[in-house]
Amino acid sequence: RLGIPVPRVIEVGTDEIRMEMVEGVQLKEALGHLPAQELEEACSRVGEIAGLLHAGGIAHGDLTTANLLLAPSPGPLGRLGQAASAKVVLLDFGLSRASSRTEDHAIDLFLLRECLKAGHPGLEQQAWEAIEKAYKRKYPKANQVLAQLRTIEQRRRYKHEG
């Protein structure tokens, strides 16, 4: 698990995988409703998750706010909308693969950043700053990945200018 909150696998059959049902709200739905401090905490957790995932040699392939769940923590204070008492759970590893390639990790971050820009334009800067800061804490090669992310963003700009 690499220290990343994910649904527990209950049973693997020949044509199906049964997993734990995790209650919560997709991060894409929750972000616009969180107070500034809780937004920062939730996004910091997203950065930690991405950093741990990449440090473990895995590219998610679909790292979006739709595949991150804000789930209440157990206990009397565990309510949605309180990031301090909630955890962020990573979902949907259908496109994931073992990869330590800087480009693959940068593509994960590119997709996540594009989701923030498209779905949460007023929150994108604050959210991204928290994600990037936490990502750097958890992944020793973060600066290389972030440099590659800038290269990917430049390539994309050139494609749209012609």
Q: What residues are labeled active site?
A: 62
Phi, psi dihedral angles at 120 (to 5 degrees): -145, 60
Block residue for tokens 């905490």: 41
Q: d(Cα 123, Cα 143) in Å, to the nearest integer?
A: 23
Report the relative pairing of strands 68-72 and 86-90 from DSSP bridges: antiparallel
86 beta partners? 72
Cα distance between residue 2 and residue 55, in whole Å:
9
